[in-house]
Structure 1
Amino acid sequence: MKQKKWATTLGAMLLATSLAACGDTGDTTEEDQAIDVTEEHNAEQEEAHGTMDHSGSDEVPDGLQEASNPTYPVDSTVVMTADHMLEMEGAEAKIVGAYDTTAYAVTYTPTDGGEPVENHKWVIHEELDTTEDAPLADGTEVTLRADHMEGMDGANATIDSSEETTVYMVNFMLQDGEEVTNHKWVTEDELEPKE
């Protein structure tokens, strides 16, 4: 009799545990968490790049050298894989300039009092107020001479990372039909050939 009672109690406990596991506990799945992270990333990008001057002039900083043999020549069409700006990833772009330099990801506080911008990609060596040779070490403090975003020119910044590469100036279309011209900068590893 004791065995039967013990088996019944064990069975009831297992059934209760199974039902509790199947119930809605309010926990999110890995897929839901991934969606939340993606939405949060997109919102951060929109906020960080909301004041970005998507289009720019075709002028480049003094001393910037044109690439002699770029992987993607001027006038070629590519697909961007970069996601540091909304609507960039997957967009087709036309190469309008190719230059050999050092590209930096930087963290800076805008001069117009905006929130700090972390890991902004990209500022090139020729857009820094420095007499030091490239590449600068991670953690180096510099003054920016780029105007990609409001409050960037003259801002104090810290080098987060650097990459010696070919950078490209590109034209592309946003999803709303706005044409972005002379966008600075996309690095070589953020581009793929158009198939």
Structure 2
Amino acid sequence: MKRTITIAALALTSTLVLSACSDDASDSDNADTVSATATSADNGETHEDTTTAEDGGHDMDHPEDGGPAPEGIVEAVDPTYPVGSEVILTADHMPGMDGAQATISGAFDTTTYSVSYTPVGGGEPITDHRWVVHEELVDPGQAPLSDGAEVVIDAEHMSGMKGATATIDYSTDETVYMVDLTTDDMTMTNHKWVTESEIEPAE
């Protein structure tokens, strides 16, 4: 009788131990699933952050192909960086741009402006957008325009820009360039615009 009770007790103990192991494994699996889900969510947020460029604290959506130079703009006769030159960008117009290698796809002599505006169709105001050239403004008159002047933009560097009323923040008459560049997050051709002071020669 004593032997029968002992065997029964051992069987019960074994069952409880196996059950506990199963619960632990299940909990571990659940933890792994939660961890994987959290990691996936974190990765999603990081991806969104790195592929969204910002200007003045606001999202931007530059097209991959910036298209041709605006009509009427004058090509630079003897630019520091001729078309085809390999350069390093020092501008930070968008994440990944500063330090990126680029190829000059156009060099022009014009007046180039930083502008602030509210996108057509609504949205948060864009401040200090660099850059818009004189030839991308509607009936701008004689260049250069004064700081604080109101203008209408005739360029679509990003959604809501074309047709927007903007204020000139400041201007420069240095040579301005279109560039082709590739970063970890994007490939762009004819990106408009980068000024000469935002470029360094490639090593």
State the distance in 2 between where 1:114 and 1:131 align: 25
Residue 144 to residue 43, structure 1, CA distance change in 2 (3 Å) = closer
**Does 1:50 find its partner at 2:60?**
yes
Q: Which position in structure 2 is the counterpart of 1:78?
A: 87
State the distance in 1 between where 2:59 and 2:183 align: 14
Q: Which position in structure 2 is the counterpart of 1:90?
A: 99
Give the secondary-structure state (helix, strand or coil) at the position aligned to 2:145.
coil
Select which of 152, 160, 180 maps to 1:171.
180
Residue 154 to residue 43, structure 1, CA distance change in 2 (3 Å) = closer
Select which of 36, 55, 63 maps to 2:72.
63
Q: Give me the TM-score of the superposition, normalised by structure 2.
A: 0.71
**Does 1:100 find its partner at 2:116?**
no
Matched-pair contact (CA < 8 Å) for 1:101–1:166: yes
Q: Which deviates more from structure 2 when the two are superposed, residues 153-162 or residues 43-52?
A: 43-52
State the distance in 1 between where 2:92 and 2:152 align: 25
**Does 1:192 find its partner at 2:182?**
no
Select which of 162, 169, 176 maps to 1:160.
169
Deviations 1:72-117 (A, max 9, x none): 0000100000012211100000001000011100000100211110
Residue 117 to residue 160, structure 1, CA distance change in 2 (3 Å) = same
Q: Give me the TM-score of the superposition, normalised by structure 1.
A: 0.74
Matched ranges for 1:25-44 at <5 A: 44=54
Amino acid at match of 1:160: D
**Does 1:122 find its partner at 2:152?**
no
Deviation at 1:54, TM superposition (A): 4.2
State the distance in 1 between where 2:144 and 2:56 align: 29
Instruction: State the superposition RMSD in angstroms.
Output: 2.0
Select which of 109, 131, 136 maps to 2:145.
136
Matched-pair contact (CA < 8 Å) for 1:46–1:85: no
Deviation at 1:50, TM superposition (A): 3.1
Give the secondary-structure state (helix, strand or coil) at the position aligned to 1:126.
helix
- Give the share of equivalent positions with the same residue, in percent: 54
Amino acid at match of 1:164: D
Residue 49 to residue 66, structure 1, CA distance change in 2 (3 Å) = farther
Deviations 1:135-190 (A, max 9, x none): 000000000001001000000000000000111110010213x3211101000000
Structure 1 residues not aligned, in runs of 5+: 1-38
Flag the structure with larger Rg: 2
State the distance in 1 between where 2:121 and 2:89 align: 30
Deviation at 1:132, TM superposition (A): 1.2
Deviation at 1:128, TM superposition (A): 0.5
State the distance in 2 between where 1:154 and 1:194 align: 37
State the distance in 1 between where 2:190 and 2:136 align: 16
Give the secondary-structure state (helix, strand or coil) at the position aligned to 1:107.
strand
